[in-house]
């Protein structure tokens, strides 16, 4: 089946109408699941190949296919995926799905973020030069093509090409450096002494005598010192330019190093929810706000985030907290910081369980009402009497139990009444509502965790 893909390249339309794409998408969505479910990469690769034959190749599916090939076959799978992507973009960009420019850029950015982050964790050796060269050539074709297009924003897949090219150049430099460590012998000259002779004597001498003298004299190393003319030093613009160039390259290298360290730190730390609590001191530049391209890009980004948020479970923040503790444990299992973080989370969890234990036993109230109703029915059937004092006392106890532990719907109704009257909602009422709501969510989380 893989040979058929090499034989032709056919672009496809929207793949979402095919069952195979739904299977691929459901497996890919496991990457962002709070429980970190196991992804079936073999299933993704198999359905991607079937989808290529049925529908054709599109930019989104080829990204999923390349990620699956990397997880199944390693770096060679990534290389072959890049070669297929390069052929698709170079020859079929105009017919490529998705047709929207912002969607194409997002797909290439996803390729860089998901697959590129895995590639950046690898360590390459001399044996990888051939595969690095193939990957570099493919990504170079992609980079040249997208740089020639009038895109609103350059996709970040260019950064992946720079990373591959840098590693390839580094390995080439090391190989050339090792091959150049060959010691060259110094230049030797043989000095021959001959007495001063006349022209007649010189004619009588033969070459054999000179050769005999040459053989018996030792070899002497010649070291000729260079003579530097005593000229005035002139300012060299070439040296100045080279110095500035090396200084700029050095500064860029330092900046890139610290940026990389910062990205690695953020990757370890994970997302930070404090961003939502930041106060906006000033609006961005008016030129940026009035730019329709930026507005459209922000709209697409926010729309994607809204769709993702709506798919989250109401107990996702509990999984979020568990993942923070688990991530700390995987990085520093025996550290005191991990133990302290675990203890802090357990204290918070136990505090929330207090609200969980104070839940209203509604079944008990319902049972009391049913018992009272049964007593009244029994008295009616047997022509017996029930005093009003008895009924009053029984109903009073039920009413007190309901008032002491109001259902959450009743607390919410009281809050709505205050709002309709344009009155200030008491803090005690809001606090009771928050506690009961947290208790309900905690009960649901404990049930899900036990499954």
Q: What is the pLDDT of residues 162-204, one digit of tens each?
A: 999 999 988 888 887 766 554 444 444 333 333 444 445 544 5
Residues 30-38: contacts with CB under 8 Å, at least 24 apart: 31/114, 32/308, 34/313, 34/316, 34/319, 34/320, 34/323, 35/319, 36/323
How far apart CA 292 and CA 210 sit, in angstroms, is 92
- Strand pairing partners for 11? 57
Q: And the tokens for 343?
A: 């203890």
* Cβ(157)–Cβ(143) below 8 Å: yes
Q: What is the CA radius of gyration of the chain?
A: 40
How far apart CA 371 and CA 355 sit, in angstroms, is 29
% of the chain residues with pLDDT over 90: 20
Residue 367 belongs to what domain range?
A: 337-450
- Strand pairing partners for 108? none
- At residue 254, the pLDDT reads 81
Name the pTM for this structure.
Answer: 0.42
Q: How many domains does the chain have?
A: 2
- At residue 228, the pLDDT reads 40
195 domain residue, yes or no: no
At residue 240, what are phi and psi to the nearest 5 degrees?
Answer: -65, -45
What tens digit of pLDDT does each residue of 96-150 get? 888 998 999 999 999 998 898 899 999 888 888 999 999 999 999 999 999 998 8
How far apart CA 155 and CA 162 sit, in angstroms, is 13
194 domain residue, yes or no: no
- At residue 42, the pLDDT reads 94
What are the helix (H) ranges across 93-180? 101-110, 116-119, 129-147, 157-179
202 domain residue, yes or no: no
% of the chain residues with pLDDT over 70: 75
pLDDT tier at 311, thresholds 50, 70, 90: low
Cβ neighbourhood burial of 351 (10 Å; 0-12, 13-18, 19+) = exposed
55 domain residue, yes or no: yes
314 domain residue, yes or no: no
pLDDT at 222 over 60: no
pLDDT at 74 over 90: yes
How far apart CA 143 and CA 159 sit, in angstroms, is 9
Please tell me the least confidently modeled range out of 79-88, 146-155, 197-206.
197-206
What tens digit of pLDDT does each residue of 237-294 get? 777 778 888 888 888 878 777 776 666 655 555 555 555 555 555 556 666 667 777 7
Residues 393-398: contacts with CB under 8 Å, at least 24 apart: 394/368, 397/368, 398/365, 398/368, 398/369, 398/372
Q: And the tokens for 44?
A: 């993704």
pLDDT at 210 over 60: no
pLDDT at 214 over 50: no
312 domain residue, yes or no: no
Local structure of 423: helix, strand or coil: coil
The closest of 186, 175, 244, 249 to 219, measured between CA atoms, is 186
Strands 220-221, 188-189: pairing is: antiparallel
146 domain residue, yes or no: yes
- At residue 315, the pLDDT reads 76
Residue with the bigger pLDDT between 383 and 179: it is: 383
pLDDT at 153 over 50: yes
Round the average pLDDT of the chain to a whole number and report it: 77
Residue with the bigger pLDDT between 301 and 46: it is: 46
Domain boundary among 177, 208, 237: 177
134 contacts: CB under 8 Å, gap ≥ 6: 79, 82, 83
332 domain residue, yes or no: no
Domain boundary among 177, 209, 238: 177
How far apart CA 129 and CA 122 sit, in angstroms, is 13
Torsion of the alpha carbons at 144, 147, 153 and 155, rounded to the nearest 10: 0
Domain boundary among 114, 149, 177: 177
Which range has the top average pLDDT, 39-48, 92-101, 218-227? 39-48
- At residue 388, the pLDDT reads 85
**Mean pLDDT on 382-406:** 82
Give CA separation, 254 vs 196, 214, 370, in Å: 69, 60, 77
- Residue whose entry in the numeric block shows the structure tokens 């672009």: 11
Which range has the top average pLDDT, 119-128, 208-217, 297-306, 407-416? 119-128
Instruction: Calculate helix-pair angle for 101-110, 292-310, nearest 10 degrees.
Output: 60
The closest of 400, 401, 402, 411 to 437, measured between CA atoms, is 411
Helices and strands (DSSP H and E) totals, the chain:
20, 2
**Mean pLDDT on 372-384:** 86
Please tell me the least confidently modeled range out of 9-18, 22-31, 156-165.
9-18
pLDDT at 414 over 50: yes
Buried b (16+ CB within 10 A) or exposed e, 279-289: eeeeeeeeeee
* Cβ(11)–Cβ(56) below 8 Å: yes
The closest of 407, 411, 418 to 433, measured between CA atoms, is 411
**Mean pLDDT on 397-426:** 83
**Mean pLDDT on 87-104:** 89
402 contacts: CB under 8 Å, gap ≥ 6: 365
């Amino acid at each position: 089946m893989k040979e058929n893909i090499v034989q032709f390249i056919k672009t496809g339309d929207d793949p979402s109408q095919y069952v195979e794409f739904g299977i691929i998408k459901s497996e890919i969505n496991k990457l962002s699941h709070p429980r970190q479910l196991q992804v079936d990469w073999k299933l993704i690769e198999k359905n991607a190949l079937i989808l290529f034959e049925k529908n054709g190749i599109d930019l989104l599916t080829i990204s999923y296919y390349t990620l699956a090939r990397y997880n199944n076959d390693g770096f060679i799978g990534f290389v072959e995926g890049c070669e297929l992507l390069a052929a698709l973009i170079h020859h079929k960009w105009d017919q490529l799905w998705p047709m929207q420019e912002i969607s194409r850029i997002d797909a290439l950015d996803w390729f860089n973020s998901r697959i590129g982050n895995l590639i950046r964790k690898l360590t390459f050796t001399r044996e990888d030069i051939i595969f690095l060269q193939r990957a570099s050539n493919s990504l170079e074709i992609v980079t040249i093509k997208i740089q020639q297009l009038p895109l609103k924003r350059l996709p970040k897949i260019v950064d992946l090409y720079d990373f591959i090219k840098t590693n390839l150049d580094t390995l080439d430099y090391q190989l050339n450096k090792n091959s150049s460590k060959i010691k060259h012998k110094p230049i030797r000259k043989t000095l021959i002494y001959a007495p001063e002779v006349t022209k007649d004597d010189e004619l009588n001498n033969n070459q054999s005598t000179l050769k005999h003298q040459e053989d018996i004299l030792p070899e002497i190393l010649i070291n000729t010192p260079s003579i530097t003319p005593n000229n005035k030093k002139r300012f060299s613009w070439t040296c100045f330019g080279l110095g500035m160039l090396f200084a700029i390259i050095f500064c860029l290298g330092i900046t890139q190093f610290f940026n990389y360290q910062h990205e690695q730190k953020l990757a370890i730390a994970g997302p930070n929810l404090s961003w939502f609590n930041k106060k906006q001191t000033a609006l961005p530049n008016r030129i940026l706000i009035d730019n329709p391209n930026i507005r459209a890009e922000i709209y697409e980004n926010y729309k994607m985030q809204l769709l993702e948020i709506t798919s989250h479970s109401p107990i996702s923040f509990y999984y979020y907290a568990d993942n923070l503790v688990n991530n700390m444990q995987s990085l520093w299992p025996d550290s005191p910081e991990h133990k302290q973080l675990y203890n802090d989370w357990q204290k918070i969890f136990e505090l929330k369980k207090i609200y969980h234990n104070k839940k209203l036993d509604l079944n008990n109230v319902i049972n009391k009402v049913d018992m009272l109703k049964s007593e009244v029915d029994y008295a009616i059937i047997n022509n017996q009497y029930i005093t009003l004092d008895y009924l009053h006392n029984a109903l009073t106890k039920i009413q007190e139990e309901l008032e002491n532990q109001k259902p959450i719907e009743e607390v919410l109704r009281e809050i709505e009444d205050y709002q309709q009257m344009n009155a200030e909602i008491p803090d005690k009422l809001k606090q009771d509502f928050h506690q009961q709501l947290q208790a309900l969510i905690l009960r649901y989380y404990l049930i899900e965790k036990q499954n």
